[in-house]
Amino acid sequence: MSEVPENVKGVVDFDSWLKPWANVLSERRYLADKYKYDIQHSTSDGKEISLKEFARDSYKTYGLHVDSQTKEIVYQEWCPNAAKAYLIGDFNNWNESTHELTRFDDFGNFKIVVKPIVENGSTSYAIKHDSKIKVMFVLNNGEKIYRLPAWITRSTQPDKETVKKYGPIYEGRFWNPENPYIFKSKRPTFNLTKDSLRIYEAHIGISSPEPTVASYKNFTQNVLPRIRDLGYNCIQLMAIMEHAYYASFGYQVTNFFAISSRFGTPEDLKELIDTAHSMGIIVLLDVVHSHASKNVEDGLNMFDGSDHHMFHSLTSGRGEHPLWDSRLFNYGKFEVQRFLLANLAFYIDVYQFDGFRFDGVTSMLYVHHGVGENGAFSGDYNEYLSKERSHVDHEALAYLMLANDLVHELLPNQAITIAEDVSGYPTLCLPRDIGGVGFDYRLAMALPDMWIKLLKEKKDEDWDMGHIAFTLTNRRHGEKVVAYCESHDQALVGDKTLAFWLMDAEMYTGMTILKETTPVIDRGIALHKMIRLITDSLGGEAYLNFEGNEFGHPEWLDFPNVNNNDSYHYARRQFNLVDDNLLRYQHLYNFDKAMQHTEGSYQWLNTPQAYISLKHEGDKVIVYERNGLLFLFNFNPKKSFNDYRIGVEVPGKYKIILNTDKPEFGGHNRIDEKSSFFTTNEKWNDRNNYLQVYIPSRTAMILALDK
């Protein structure tokens, strides 16, 4: 075979199985590098700029901006299909002729400078803070269309009277507060090579026991202290980008630079993030660049009257997602790259987010979007890299490379990027400079599917220890993953959380401590803890929990919609249950807290994969070592084992640092945590030493060297 191209030599050296496809990988990297070169040399004066300068200059140029000295307001928009453009709103009584934008180039850029009001020697902005605003375009055929500015930073729900008159179309707002929020705390440091990532995935609107839409303020005051108490060091915020349809879970974005007004103001979100930073918690945004809402008057669809402004045209067959009923970006377009890259820089700079979880990466990576027969991935490299079979969207892949370049340029050695990818695309989480796509982590999306399948289809005594261990460790070498047992997907109506699968038969009657526990509840609490611990410690290099699941939230998640009579009953998290000392939810909460804090002290995440020394199908026991710790799991529903021989590599005296059977975790107190275990210098299970331990049924424990 020919010599490996220099621009992907690093990834081929890392994974020699990639060598037959080196030229394909090289072409894909070349496209991203070409896009980057074109961006860096896009200035009119020929001066080279960095990616971060390009992104920052873009969000500071397009949209509405103020000059605090002169009180002038500048508005710029890209709208190539329009003949004329006018800024309208409360400030000019919606007059469609007074504030015309000037088209100043051949690319379709329009601009206006709104002069200040001067009265009695005092100068003020001509547009008042929080007043309503729109842009009107006149097309070449004379048609008038009304839109929210594409870069609008505030968009709100209309009042009932407006809805009656015009429909439920969101309203653009000119956001220019007199006293903007000033950040007080520095970003917490995070070392990507060493530090553990313990993610608490949360949705602001459901973060209250009350059947209503909760606020940023509520989250700051009532939920952040819980997250800190539990020991998570990262929050992943969902549904932040403005979306007109609440029940879309935030995945039908209408206004990309506006944060959801349902939950409060931009200043409220800044306060939330600043408060999290003061607690040492980093904050990630669940960013949706995979698609956009089809809304026209309050979204990007048909923005300039054409169907291809930001998206692939509808006639191309690539303009709509086949399942999501949404529009798909044309990532090869320069102005789309500008818009999306600027969007990332905006959230890092203005709101101080520390990184992103990229939604729908599988959909972006492939022309078939992971749907149908083509979306069934087996791991064969041909499915990703063969020119004939891969169906990879090279333009989208190149954009993802640029996005990773930008985020890590803005926050060097600290930013975090996570890909929601189920396909297993090779090199996705390898560095850009050696030929990878550049993500820091991908979600281990096969893990929750395995747990749900086991609970649905297998009796406890039929669980396959080998299959569990294989699935938890089946990931690409050197490409880090975020392990999780369940995320928001498993909490949605139509599915069940792990707690529900385990205990739904008695969850409303058996969680009180005022009566003896039942076999159903006892089993459920025991397995809930074990599943979380083995997933956390064996399944990846980071860990994620969806809010409420840490204490076994008793109900699914369903947003108000026509099918439930617009009820908020299931669009909430009942934190009150864990605060009730008469209920067993506290036990699961206590264990999750102990697990997170133990990881924080001993750190097994972000370390090399575990060495599994035992997968005993008859005993239902799994044993492994990771980062000098010894993990023991007895999934046997009936049998406890005395003096169970466990292989271990490092000799010495071991102590228990965590066990699932403590009374405060809902256990039966069968394990003496004061016990010490001394190794014997004999080989066992391919380890140089062994020790003997009592392992009760349905329990797990972690041992560490007692130094």
Which residues are catalytically annotated?
A: 359, 420
Helices (DSSP H) in 62-114: which residue ranges? none
One-letter amino acid of 327: R
Residues 197 and 606: beta-carbon distance below 8 Å: yes
For the chain, the residue count is 707
| Beta strands 117-119 and 122-124, pairing class | antiparallel
Which amino acid belongs to residue 561? N
d(CA 662, CA 177): 52
**Alpha-carbon distance 652 to 679, whole Å?**
6
Tokens representing 304?
Answer: 């300039």
Amino acid 98 reads T
Tokens of 638: 């009936």
Helix (H, G, I), strand (E, B) or coil at 68: coil
678 with 648: CB under 8 angstroms? no
Strands 416-419, 82-89: pairing kind? unpaired
b or e along 540-577 (b: 16 or more beta carbons within 10 Å of the residue's beta carbon)?
bbbbbbbbbbbbbbbbbbbbbeeeeeeebebbbbbbeb
CB 246 within 8 A of CB 570: no
Q: Which of 209, 233, 234 is nearest to 571 (CA)?
A: 209
CA–CA distance, 75 with 58 (Å, rounded to integer): 12
CA pair distance 521, 41, nearest whole angstrom: 64
Contact present, 244 and 255 (Cβ < 8 Å):
no
Distance of CA 387 to the CA centre of its chain: 30
3-class DSSP assignment, residue 19? helix
Which residue, among 378, 199, 212, 360, has the nearest Cα to 289 in the 3D structure? 360
Report how far residue 253's alpha carbon sits from residue 295's, in angstroms, rounded to the nearest whole number: 9
Q: Partners of 281 in the beta sheet?
A: none
CB 145 within 8 A of CB 301: no
Q: What share of the chain is helix, strand, coil (3-state, %, to 5)?
A: 30, 20, 45
SS (H, E, C) 515-536: CCCCHHHHHHHHHHHHHHHHHH
Phi, then psi, of 441 in degrees rounded to 5: -145, 155
10 Å CB burial of residue 381 (0-12, 13-18, 19+) is middle
Question: What pairing do the DSSP bridges indicate for beta strands 653-659 and 676-678?
Answer: antiparallel
The full DSSP string for 492-510 is BBTB--HHHHHHTTTTTTS
Between CA 283 and CA 354 the distance in angstroms is 5
What CA–CA distance (Å, rounded) separates 303 from 449? 39
Gap between the Cα atoms of 102 and 226, Å rounded: 52
> What is the distance between the alpha carbons of residues 634 and 701, in angstroms, rounded to a whole number?
9
H/E/C letters for each residue in 158-177? Answer: CCHHHHHHHCCCCEEECCCC
Helix or strand (DSSP H, E) at 55: helix 51-61
